[in-house]
Amino acid sequence: MPALARVDSHAHVFDPVAFPLRDTGGHMPGPAECGTAQEFLTVLGAHQVSHGLLVNPQAGYATDNRCMLNAIARSQGRLKGVALVDHGVTDAQLAELQAGGVVGARFNLLFAHATSIRGREGEVLLGRLRELGWFAQIYYRDDSLLEALPVLQSSGIALVIDHCGGFDPDKGLQQAGFQALLQLGREGQAAVKLSGAFRLSKKPWPHSDLDPFIAALLEAFTPDRCVWGSDWPFVRHPARTDYGPQQRLLERWVPDEDARRKIEWDTPSRLFGFAPLR
């Protein structure tokens, strides 16, 4: 693979001029938290990253995926997307999303306004997404995975877990939600994003309090089920956060070049359908 064959598997784009933000019942990004598609591609190029997986944000856009779709369409194959959809999404709308480069849907277990996976409506939606060949990307914190697991596993949909599983480093490796996540990894039932370290850590960079958790995730999931993401442009984080230090974390966690190559390219290209640039 070319030297630049790397994937940032978690980022967002905001373009308040072309696609105005709206109140989605949660956080409204400020100007310093926004970043356009062109700005993101520039950041990728500056850090020798060839591809990116965009996640449509709950903040500002929610199920309005137009900004993300526009970014993918203009990226010349460099970007794909994870959409937010509601229970009433039509087959035609799903087909349009898929044709536009969407490969999965995100479900946010933290916010009441987000689309729920619970009940008959959630079951039906997960089944429809599974039939499309999409994965369900799950964002949660602490032990809330435990309640969601029966629904997710019964749906049969492929799973991608956000931000290292949202564990609390103060609660140790034995916290129930983290142990359930490790079991998912051992059973090959999910992939995990090694992302959002700055959101989880109680210590400054390089966030050494996360080291035993990252090591456990790497052992349980192996590099064949781990991907890396920056979480650019670092929405709703009060401290200054830059792209380079997030990238350097992966080198620290995974010093083996072959294993890191899997995490940065082989695994995300297989899971998300990326192809090398020509």
- The string of pLDDT tens digits covering residues 88-107 is 999 999 999 999 999 999 99
Average pLDDT over residues 68-80: 97
Residue ranges covered by each domain of the chain = 7-272
Q: Hey, what are 82's tokens?
A: 């994870």
Q: Hey, what are 265's tokens?
A: 């390219």
- The string of pLDDT tens digits covering residues 122-179 is 999 999 999 999 999 999 999 999 999 999 999 999 999 999 999 999 999 999 999 9
Cβ neighbours around 8 below 10 Å, total? 28
Q: Which residue has the tokens 């369900």?
A: 136
Q: Hey, what are 91's tokens?
A: 């087959």
- The string of pLDDT tens digits covering residues 166-213 is 999 999 999 999 999 999 999 998 999 999 999 999 999 999 999 999
Q: Is residue 255 predicted with pLDDT exceeding 60?
A: yes
| Architecture of the domain delimited by 7-272 | Alpha-Beta Barrel (3.20)
**By three-state DSSP, how is residue 103 classified?**
strand
Please give the Cα distance from 41 to 49 (Å, whole number).
Answer: 9
pTM attached to this predicted model = 0.96
| CB-based contact 164:145 (threshold 8 Å) | no
- The string of pLDDT tens digits covering residues 111-122 is 888 999 999 999
